[in-house]
Amino acid sequence: MPEVAIYAGTFDPVTYGHLDLVQRALRIFRRVILAVAHNPGKEPLFSVAERVDMLRQVTGDLAGVEVDSFDGLLVHYARSRQAKVIIRGLRALSEFEHEFRMALSNRKLDSEVETIFLMPSEIYSYLSSALIKEIVTLGGHVSEFVPALVEEKLRGKLGQAGT
């Protein structure tokens, strides 16, 4: 059984749903690398360095977690880190088709890298980074969805004072 898995994403920002998947992955793998993607097709709110820093701060107490960033194809990054498993989260059936195509594409690019799908706890199944940003933009509280550090940074970026 492989000892290391990669959980890649934009993490813009990291949510309790992401952290739930990290904890689930740690039950299966000794080491989980959280890989922040440089995605030229997206315009994230936070820079890669800011997202890496937030992830490091909120996972600092989790043994076996490493935070990194990468450019290019995920399977190439996985190979460079000697990882044979990619973790992907599935919140809803609507995400399955996209994730399934990505997993098959990755398998075609590198047949030695497997994709494992994990589902978050039901209380996080509707949660997305886009939803979190929208709530903060509209003046809402997100303390139930993200760590306090993340909420503070969101309010700083989006110009919303804590109320």
129: closest CA among 27, 45, 61, 25? Answer: 45
- Which among 81, 91, 107, 155 is annotated as catalytic? 91
- Which among 42, 94, 108, 111 is annotated as catalytic? 42
- Which among 18, 51, 88, 133 is annotated as catalytic? 18
Instruction: Record the tokens describing residue 22, joined without a space.
Output: 């990290």
56 is a catalytic site residue: no
Residue 50 burial class via C-beta count within 10 angstroms: exposed 0-12, middle 13-18, buried 19 and up: middle
- Which among 51, 88, 129, 153 is annotated as catalytic? 129
- Residue 18: phi and psi, rounded to 5, are -60, -45
CB-CB contact of 3 with 31 (8 Å): yes
The SS3 call for residue 107 is helix
Instruction: Record the tokens describing residue 80, joined without a space.
Output: 């460079």
30 is a catalytic site residue: no
129 is a catalytic site residue: yes
List CB contacts of 139: < 8 A, sequence separation 6 or more.
160, 163
18 is a catalytic site residue: yes
What is the rounded distance in angstroms from the CA atom of residue 50 to the CA atom of residue 39?
A: 15
Q: Supply the residues annotated as catalytic.
A: 18, 42, 91, 129
